[in-house]
Structure 1
């Protein structure tokens, strides 16, 4: 960290020195035809001879611009702004200042849906849209969109596949303004080529209601739109790849696309055994260790993360079709199939405390999980009329998961004496089918600002789970009379759930940008469970227990929001109260049920201030009511696993939370500065907390109670800036998490305080012409303390150092390598872990870049390990899993499409 600070200081000092050197400027003022200054006009400096890009800047709020570092030559200035005709101004620079005075830009006679971005302008900004020129960021012919996004300032792709822009999660991704495979970011980013993209737009999208009425309601979401290059439209394009390597490793990929102004067609396919999912990775991380006993325990860490371990074979295929019937009326449908087989082994060690007799647990795990997924989406939008709009979205999902696992576990006392062992074999067959549809209609009425909308959403799913578990238990191992027993459990479960939501909104203008809003909604949840469980215990006297029952949970929520809204260009205020009535009834069908009815008054408020383009401050406050989940309040017991018994508490009350968010985003692309921050504070009363008991045989029983308060504070800061003179961008990240909660451990309240701090620093060159360099480090520490087990207070540190090089020997020969070094330290575990990972690739393109050979070398040091540590309510755990390890693959890729047309 100290070395990094020294490097940054040196860069900043050198930057200031360079800035201080007197350079004769080229300056001017850009205005529109009404003499009004235009902010964020992209001003590019080119050579007249061949239009080679030299430098660029953006106009400020007064429309003024200044360009320094100009060579003596005949030059060309290009002025570009979305919605205006591009203007060119020739000049001859002789190292003397040039004042161009006023430059007038003319508006486009008509506005296009997809504005062509000039090849030399890296960034253009207009209102809520930031457009990046993809040609300004170096990508290789084999790179996908995920690689391109990682190079854009202000964007991040997290380990779980989520895309974050401007500090907010990206909810949808479009291609040429149309949905692509349901807008799923993971599918889009992994299956479209980066070199097919001309422009990347980051859009702070208004709600459908605001787009129709013109009244900004403050409800926005971040979406990304990729605009294709002209050479990729009206013809087929894509890639076909295949590779084979040592140890029988293989992969094959295919994507084919044909986009016309009215119709989009895309086909993708992928199969491999090198741990590449090709779609949303979350489905593969669930129960990745193969044992579903404590996987849903609340963690004290800021987030619970898992990585894909073991060996994965994947086959995926999908097709996407979109058609635009007329302007702003379109239909989109896609189908995606995913088949995967994930298997492997792991070793876990756990330190548990029970307030009576603390113990350690070690286990060897084997797992195999096969999943098949069918996913069909459709989406109809009709915004062709100026007074109303209609959207219909639907999804059909079919999942089948077969999972088998074994766990050999050993229980030790605090002194290290082996007391109990068990061997658990677990198999599960899970079939789930889901149907979801939402319909939203928006109507603008005659009076300006008056509107109403009607919406309906339903989610219906059915699920069957067949569970089998066999447990061999040996107690009192070190005594003269150890006991042995075998427990066989069979549990068949059928679930039928229906969620129905109806809402209506009405907006009445009060004059001078003031509005009254009424929002009424009805939410009905109905859950039916049908359970059959048979347990057999083999001892001297065989015991058999049969349980069958039908269970129903019904919840109705009626909400009326009365709100006041003030909306102008720079300021948006929305505040009011929500009146909520919550009715719940649940229990075994043949028994007396539990019923409750509560009434709540929930205030809410949103304040958004945008003093100028690129700067946004947002404050959001909500009072939220969370009713107990079905498992938390269930009146029946789940003891499928004899060492982990789960039961609910039917007397739980809803949890009440005050939720405050503060967001600040500052984007100054003229100085290449990017700052994103988010602060969130949550305060809960009647907190639903775990109630855990552990007996002398290490059997854990978990229930829930309402107890006291829970406090949670999270913050995130991201600052980056480009030093143009040095061609370097540096980024500093900081995230913090603070949580204070309570749990009940063997009838004694345990106050848990958890603190997480993470700091990251990275440096990368911004030229990206021949060589692409990046170095950095991330440092995080978790400090968890307990009121009843202070000797178990934990400090866990994780360090990550990384370096990457991407170098073009010649135009068609590329080399890239990345080295990662991880270090884990934990005062509760005797050993620390150090993990180096080194990857490398060499690629050669030929045939007008339509063909490429690539040699990929993964995990060259053959560490063959994946590592995770976590904290929960009453234990610490570390898991070391086998992973794919070192492999080498040689692949061939052919770019589909006409060479002649692409060249043109």
Structure 2
């Protein structure tokens, strides 16, 4: 204890010395001056001669403003200028702008504090007096797929050959270093893309799949991947990418890129450590302004159909979009022509989707002040049938569960996302309002059997039906005010959720051993739930040069109210035992069959106080990157009131220390990121209540009041090297450990096949991952591109298991290894011929030292060829043939070999406005799936 006490005081002394030493450093700091110049009428940039002078007109320096693309690409291009390290003393200065054909303009500015990093000059608007007509220049460029400049990757969409009618998802899947998951998540060089932007702004925010599946690939010009800075950096003028030499100037042969400013970083005009990793899809000029529409319709064998429409309008002031999609094709079939459509991806059921949405975005005085509303509706019907085999490893013999289920579900979801952002020179406010409603219903049946290694123990026949509704309301506001060099922040949010769920279950359990009678139950569950969360916070950013100290405080209140009421309809006298899905006519009868032993309700109250000290520094001399540390103390109070067979009231109080650190460096040649941190929390308080729930006689659940607090530790690292010939090497590694992880111990009855399940705290659960990605062009013309991705994962799993009658549960440790590799070789002869060889595989090794555990050695692998060829009569052929194999699985039906051959034949008519497609999926299956489709494009 004395050692901890001394260490804490040493840390405080070091922080105080650092705090008082920095103001002296600020006195010798040199300050830059930056601003922009535009035409007063058109708003376009003017490449004027800019002169910086003292208040008495003594010239300090002269530069020329250069054109740079606006972050949101509204059609405007502004000219920026910067005087680097030009000012050392506080006081007033004069900016003079001169350009032939324009009146001379002057603008005053002032350095009010030596702690200011930049002087931000008000935008100069020049009045034109003479017009000059410029000669037309034609530039021919080679098709380079990828350019790396600074911290930004730029992909040239025109360098990729795509099948006619493909959407944005097909284009992103082809990008070197990019990986598109089936759920819409995007990774580039091993790093997760946190936001997908279209022309600098989110497209149907929160649902990137809408842009991926509805935005035609032919509209895309460039795709940029970069770190998006926040509002604080804009206000504080600490974003060096706003300096002119690092701002973009798009030309055909050369592309410069920048860190796009967001909330905090934009306000402060300097790096504030609030960057996000984004992918920005830039539309071609003819689609960036004006309107376009796309209509697609098709039908196929096995009663397959699809109807999709999409339209949007872009201008410098607003954006409007609308879409609808009706189909009975499983979503994973979209990747059918890339070799990613494995037999395991095809579900046993049928998915029918109907969705529609409208979006409107309106800009105000600048590109950072806007209002947006996005409203969507989605209807999904699912018809699923599944067969599963589950093996549970137990001491002295394992158990086996065979399950066959059918389920029909229908859901409707309405969602409205709204946002308002207003940003000025010294303030910013961003407000979000989201309202959603989900209605769900369905019914199904289950037939399962439990057995040991020699004998069947029980069977279960079950029917179920349910209906549920879920309402969500979320509002949040973030507000910033700049005070000279500092920033004041205030946040508030409120969220409310109301969930109602009702379920009927008719179960018949037959015990085949031990002579126990059958268990027949007709259950009705009524499970309403409400949750309210209020949060507010304040912070003050104290900035000295490129260093930020931020004390922060936030308070969060959470209220959770839930009920789980079980009614045994089979207890009603005279009721048909098989009558299902019908409630009694009177409420008194229903109340009389309430199963008090398995019904409960609870109220949970949480109060959270969080005190944080945030430190951020842009370390240009040390490693030319960012260094961030958070030292939060979180005081968490929780009160839990449980009402079941007996009433229970208990509380938990704990002060958690949850530090984290982040270091990053971005350059044209090498970029790296390192993060580490820890988080703590209470276990689910319901699991700590003393209860027994035997509503499912085969799975009896208990609580455990001795559950301990959880502690999570995470370490992530990524480094990427960039070279010539589109060469990139990316290394990624991560480590995650959880102390006191909640595992569900199992006590198995070898006579009946029933299990008693209860939560328990265990240590020793951790996992790690290492990944290497490599890609480069093999020839000078960049016609042959090779890429390889190697991944290894290890998961150290710890849980508890025992046999009924044992004196104690046994600790079970299982080692899970996974090794995977993917290789692609792409050859693009010209726009008419492109071929891709792809192969990959995964090897699984699962072992344990526990007695009776059978080691698992299994593998999945594939090899295939993809081709895209332009045939005579302007026909475009896209085809992929891939062999998928699985080996080493204990269930023989899982060891399979499948050849998948998919083909698409397409042709455009009416100058590209109409596209006809004929698709064949899995042509080697009997019968194959055919699909014909027409796509109609209306240009601007």
* Same-fold call, TM cutoff 0.5: yes
CA deviation string 1:459-479 (max 9, x = no partner) = 2111011112111222227x9
Show the 5 A alignment for 1:321-360: 321-327=360-366, 328-360=368-400
Task: Tell me if 1:839 matches 2:936.
Answer: no
CA deviation string 1:177-218 (max 9, x = no partner) = 233212521111100111112222222111321222134233
Aligned length: 744
8 Å contact 2:524–2:567 — kept in the other structure? yes
For 1:827 and 1:815, locate their aligned partners in 2 and report how far apart those are by CA, in whole Å. Answer: 37
How has the CA–CA distance of structure 1 residues 824 and 165 changed in structure 2, closer, same or farther, with 3 Å as cutoff? Answer: same
Q: Which moved more, 1:451-460 or 1:141-150?
A: 451-460
How has the CA–CA distance of structure 1 residues 571 and 893 changed in structure 2, closer, same or farther, with 3 Å as cutoff? Answer: closer
For 1:514 and 1:182, locate their aligned partners in 2 and report how far apart those are by CA, in whole Å. Answer: 32
DSSP 3-state at the match of 1:326:
coil
Per-residue deviation, 1:860: 1.5
Per-residue deviation, 1:631: 5.3
Aligned to 1:224: 279
More strand by share: 1
DSSP 3-state at the match of 2:266:
helix
8 Å contact 1:179–1:332 — kept in the other structure? no
Bigger Cα Rg? 2
How has the CA–CA distance of structure 1 residues 588 and 258 changed in structure 2, closer, same or farther, with 3 Å as cutoff? Answer: same
Aligned to 2:500: 464
Aligned to 2:785: 729
Aligned to 2:134: none
How has the CA–CA distance of structure 1 residues 219 and 781 changed in structure 2, closer, same or farther, with 3 Å as cutoff? Answer: farther
Aligned to 1:90: none
8 Å contact 1:163–1:185 — kept in the other structure? no
Aligned to 2:629: 575
Aligned to 2:823: 761
Task: Tell me if 1:593 matches 2:655.
Answer: no
Equivalent in 195, 199, 202 of residue 172 of structure 1 = 195
For 2:648 and 2:373, locate their aligned partners in 1 and report how far apart those are by CA, in whole Å. Answer: 46
Per-residue deviation, 1:748: 1.4
Q: TM-score, normalised by structure 1?
A: 0.77
Aligned to 2:91: none
How has the CA–CA distance of structure 1 residues 857 and 830 changed in structure 2, closer, same or farther, with 3 Å as cutoff? Answer: closer
Aligned to 1:74: none
For 2:739 and 2:400, locate their aligned partners in 1 and report how far apart those are by CA, in whole Å. Answer: 34
8 Å contact 1:486–1:539 — kept in the other structure? no
Per-residue deviation, 1:233: 4.3
Equivalent in 176, 184, 189 of residue 212 of structure 2 = 189
Per-residue deviation, 1:124: 4.9
Per-residue deviation, 1:494: 0.5
8 Å contact 1:268–1:317 — kept in the other structure? yes
Task: Tell me if 1:496 matches 2:530.
Answer: yes
8 Å contact 2:395–2:852 — kept in the other structure? no
How has the CA–CA distance of structure 1 residues 798 and 265 changed in structure 2, closer, same or farther, with 3 Å as cutoff? Answer: same
Show the 5 A alignment for 1:446-525: 446-447=484-485, 450-476=486-512, 483-509=517-543, 511-525=544-558
For 2:688 and 2:813, locate their aligned partners in 1 and report how far apart those are by CA, in whole Å. Answer: 23
Per-residue deviation, 1:252: 0.7
DSSP 3-state at the match of 2:463:
strand
Show the 5 A alignment for 1:242-391: 242-276=297-331, 308-327=347-366, 328-383=368-423, 385-391=424-430
For 1:753 and 1:278, locate their aligned partners in 2 and report how far apart those are by CA, in whole Å. Answer: 34
Aligned to 1:423: 461
Aligned to 1:440: 478
CA deviation string 1:638-690 (max 9, x = no partner) = 5443323344433322111222111212333x331122232111233223222
DSSP 3-state at the match of 1:487:
strand
Equivalent in 148, 154, 162 of residue 131 of structure 1 = 154
Aligned to 1:532: 565
Q: Which moved more, 1:641-650 or 1:596-605?
A: 641-650
CA deviation string 1:166-185 (max 9, x = no partner) = 42222222222233212521
Aligned to 1:395: 434
How has the CA–CA distance of structure 1 residues 744 and 613 changed in structure 2, closer, same or farther, with 3 Å as cutoff? Answer: same
8 Å contact 1:379–1:391 — kept in the other structure? yes
How has the CA–CA distance of structure 1 residues 135 and 627 changed in structure 2, closer, same or farther, with 3 Å as cutoff? Answer: same
Equivalent in 737, 759, 763 of residue 708 of structure 1 = 763
Q: Which moved more, 1:355-364 or 1:114-123?
A: 114-123
8 Å contact 2:397–2:852 — kept in the other structure? no
Equivalent in 641, 660, 663 of residue 604 of structure 1 = 660
Q: Which moved more, 1:736-745 or 1:250-259?
A: 736-745
Equivalent in 676, 683, 705 of residue 621 of structure 1 = 676
Aligned to 1:552: 603
8 Å contact 1:529–1:552 — kept in the other structure? yes
DSSP 3-state at the match of 2:791:
strand
Aligned to 1:295: none
For 1:767 and 1:568, locate their aligned partners in 2 and report how far apart those are by CA, in whole Å. Answer: 46
For 1:217 and 1:492, locate their aligned partners in 2 and report how far apart those are by CA, in whole Å. Answer: 49
Aligned to 2:746: 692
CA deviation string 1:65-123 (max 9, x = no partner) = xxxxxxxxxxxxxxxxxx999xxxxxxxxxxxxxxxxxxx9752565443899873645
For 1:671 and 1:433, locate their aligned partners in 2 and report how far apart those are by CA, in whole Å. Answer: 52
Aligned to 2:6: none
Task: Tell me if 1:887 matches 2:929.
Answer: yes
Aligned to 2:66: 108
8 Å contact 2:648–2:689 — kept in the other structure? no
For 2:64 and 2:170, locate their aligned partners in 1 and report how far apart those are by CA, in whole Å. Answer: 36
Aligned to 1:858: 921
8 Å contact 2:264–2:274 — kept in the other structure? no
Q: Which moved more, 1:638-647 or 1:210-219?
A: 638-647
DSSP 3-state at the match of 1:181:
coil
For 2:182 and 2:294, locate their aligned partners in 1 and report how far apart those are by CA, in whole Å. Answer: 26
8 Å contact 1:141–1:194 — kept in the other structure? no
DSSP 3-state at the match of 2:171:
helix
For 1:154 and 1:220, locate their aligned partners in 2 and report how far apart those are by CA, in whole Å. Answer: 21
| Unpaired stretches in structure 1, ≥5 consecutive residues | 1-82, 86-104, 281-304, 864-884, 899-904
How has the CA–CA distance of structure 1 residues 739 and 632 changed in structure 2, closer, same or farther, with 3 Å as cutoff? Answer: farther
CA deviation string 1:770-815 (max 9, x = no partner) = 1222222221122222343443332232112232111111483111
For 1:242 and 1:749, locate their aligned partners in 2 and report how far apart those are by CA, in whole Å. Answer: 57
